[in-house]
Structure 1
């Protein structure tokens, strides 16, 4: 190729700040019934999106549900006014629903009665297709040549009335999904990955809700700085007091007092309410107005006989970085298997974490029941939740890695 030649520049992006097909806000049951009729008259897959008020409200409920199908307009449904949307599932549950990063939205949709039986997830599809950018904005730019205005992505969607700019943003997010879905589907088909995607989408629909954590307070950011069981007890009681109040007020817990304030109080162990409010790093919108609440929690933590263990009782493995010393055989299996899976991911342009969930890889490498028998490894993969396409791809890689590790184990034993 002549070094002086140049590639044809990409066409300029088309910037969109408002939807091409308009929008309509739905706030009554009568209008909702009309939405169902318009969607029924449309064609192709049905695109949906949800706006929550994460970071502002305690709940993860939907504060806006966006619906678009070719042939109609963008409907922005207010679930505060139309709370039961189950009629959509009744009429369109067997149609294909298109969402971006569906795991984030399905729980909120199901809470208002909307539950798909056929799904296309454009974010996960973009990952399997090997796109360099899988976020909505990046994938729309790369595949559709459209630049979206994203300035309202962190807005408080519980606000009423919603500003016009926010409504345009919400409508755009859903209007682009059918075209994005088609572009990704073509890429998947051309790469021979369409079946992979279908298995992944079906698996999302069948996933059980996440299990409730036994000690959710241990997820406090910075908790590792707290020393001793008494300090942990103070942190625990403050966390529960904040959680109870946040739920009652429907306010995001961190907006009352942030995690770092709880951790600071647990470290300092103030001797009085005035000492608590005098702490330099104890702040937040409710740090002073609810000081009696926080002080009562600290007193409970200081006096309780039910002290927490220094380490939580969790069904987790030691971090792989500790395996080299504590479980060298597992460490060899893990390093070899991870390397082979990463190479496979580069070859077929699928991220390694989508070829096999990292936790599955760690678990199967840490304690394989019979690392020399493929059917045993495959059974473990299936029980963990690996899909058929993943098992077919990963099984020979794991067998190879475990065989190599066993050889290294034998050499190490003879040294």
Structure 2
């Protein structure tokens, strides 16, 4: 394995030439599949000497009960490592690469990746840059990696293996090359986006957002009922909620036993229908159409038992859907919301940005309730970014208090 290639990434914001073009067809010449502890240690030395690296990963959330990271792809220049964590017991050698602040880590749509790397390997990412996020802050309408690659480099990303089970081994050469394809251009893309953000004065916006992104973590449901994760559950009555919870608990048990994602056992929509209909016989179960004939045949008895249990729950034990405490109604709040929204939409139009990127509905509501008289008061509103306060603060206060 050749490891004498090093690549320096230009400081972000500098208008410099990117690395020389290299065709995707020649990528295999610089592609290294890493599936042993010894190879991982060698690869780690390469990336520890880099200024910036492109990073992507593949997981198996579509195929297994407990998802896991199955591949980690890293690129520095045209040197690419496809790391196989399923064949390596200790991923420790690569952890410092992510934790060193002087090494810039470039992702595209990093939220899931950040959570997954921390969950599986305890990795904390410092100095993260998200090219998907940066694209949105530049007003680019289509920010998926495929769209961005085609727009910026005229590259059509191969989607042949997009829905493959990445936990299966051995991997084919095509799958390894596919994994590398999503990461090879990220450092070059970051340099281009840096320059455009600097030109528009939005570098600090993205830096603040990326810093917050680097701190997101995987969260389980804790002690909260499973129905809190089901869309539309809040509209069900308490008896139906009890039935839905029993059905969700059954699905969770079956999912773990089968080692399949819950949605591939029963869909949320199917269980929602069963919770409302509450069939008590096999005939009624089939008639309601919530399950396929195969599902009804395999699990009908268990489904009916779960429904019976929810129906029999004593009235005093019925669950309530948790709802956030609403602020006391103030007739001025809708007017304030309209004023803030009007100002935000006008600014979004001027900046050629999607309005929610500037200020989402939750933040507009919080501001309307607080009704700040000064820009300084905006600092006490949870979730409001510093870039939003510095960019929009004066305008928001003026919109709320036009006569002052």
Q: Residues of 2 paired with 1:342 and 1:82: CA distance?
A: 51
Instruction: Indicate how the Cα distance of structure 1 residues 143 and 349 shifts in structure 2: closer, same or farther if over 3 A, else same.
Output: same
- Summarize the alignment of residues 324-403 of structure 1 with structure 2, pairs less than 5 Å apart: 328-365=331-368, 367-368=369-370, 370-376=371-377, 378-381=378-381, 384-403=382-401
CA displacement 1:322-347 (0-9 Å, x = unmatched): x9xx6542111112211211221222
What residue in structure 2 maps to residue 29 of structure 1? 37
Change (3 A) 1:165 1:288: farther
- Structure 1 position 234, deviation (Å): 0.8
Deviation of residue 108 (structure 1)? 0.9
Name the SS for the 1:80 alignment partner. Answer: helix
2: CA distance between counterparts of 1:120 and 1:185? 10
The C-alpha deviation readout for 1:253-294, integer Å capped at 9, x for no partner, is 111111222122222222235653565332386543233432
Match of 1:134, SS? coil
Question: 1:119: which partner in 2?
Answer: 128
Specify the alignment match of 1:242 in structure 2.
251
Q: Secondary structure, in 3 states, of the residue corresponding to 2:43?
A: helix
Of 226, 229, 235, the match for 1:219: 229
TM-score by length of 1: 0.81
Segments of structure 1 that go 5 or more residues without pairing to the other structure are 1-13, 408-415
Say whether the 8 Å CA contact 1:15–1:149 is kept in structure 2.
Answer: no
Runs of 4+ in 1 over 6 A off after TM superposition: none
The 1:261/1:131 distance shift into structure 2, 3 A limit, reads: closer
Aligned to 2:149: 140
**Would you say the 8 A contact 1:63–1:158 is kept in 2?**
yes
| Structure 2 residue aligned with 1:413 | none
8 A contact 1:47–1:178 mirrored in 2:
yes
The whole-number CA distance in structure 2 between the counterparts of 1:96 and 1:30 is 25
1:18-39: CA deviation from partner (whole Å, max 9, x where unpaired): 8465433322212212221333
Tell me how far 1:112 sits from its aligned partner.
1.9
- Residue 45 of structure 1 aligns with which residue? 52
Greater shift in the superposed pair: 75-84 or 15-24: 15-24
> Equivalent residue of 1:160, what SS?
coil
CA distance in 1, matches of 2:218, 2:265: 27
- In 1, distance between residues paired with 2:289 and 2:125? 50
Which residue matches 1:164?
A: 173
1:375 Cα offset (Å): 2.7
Match of 1:66 among 45, 58, 73: 73
Q: 1:68 touches 1:174 (CA, 8 Å); kept in 2?
A: yes
2:99 pairs with 1:78 = no
Match of 1:251 among 254, 260, 267: 260
Q: What is the rounded CA distance, in whole Å, between the counterparts of 2:334 and 2:197 in structure 1? A: 35
Moved more, 183-192 or 281-290: 281-290
Q: Does structure 1 conserve the Cα–Cα contact (< 8 Å) formed by 2:69 and 2:85? A: yes
Distance 2:272 2:127 in 1: 44
TM superposition score normalised by structure 2: 0.83
Indicate the SS of the match to 2:41.
Answer: helix
Please give the alpha-carbon distance, in whole angstroms, between the structure 2 residues aligned to 1:120 and 1:26. Answer: 24
1:255–1:285: 8 Å Cα contact kept in structure 2? no
Cα 1:285–1:70 change in 2 (3 A) is farther
| 35 and 374 in structure 1: CA distance in 2 versus 1, 3 angstrom threshold | closer
Q: Name the SS of the counterpart of 2:149 in structure 1.
A: helix
- Rate the CA distance shift 1:84–1:260 in 2: closer, same or farther, 3 A: same
8 Å CA contact 2:61, 2:68 repeated in 1? no
CA-CA distance at 1:146 after TM superposition? 2.0
In the other structure, the counterpart of 2:18 is none
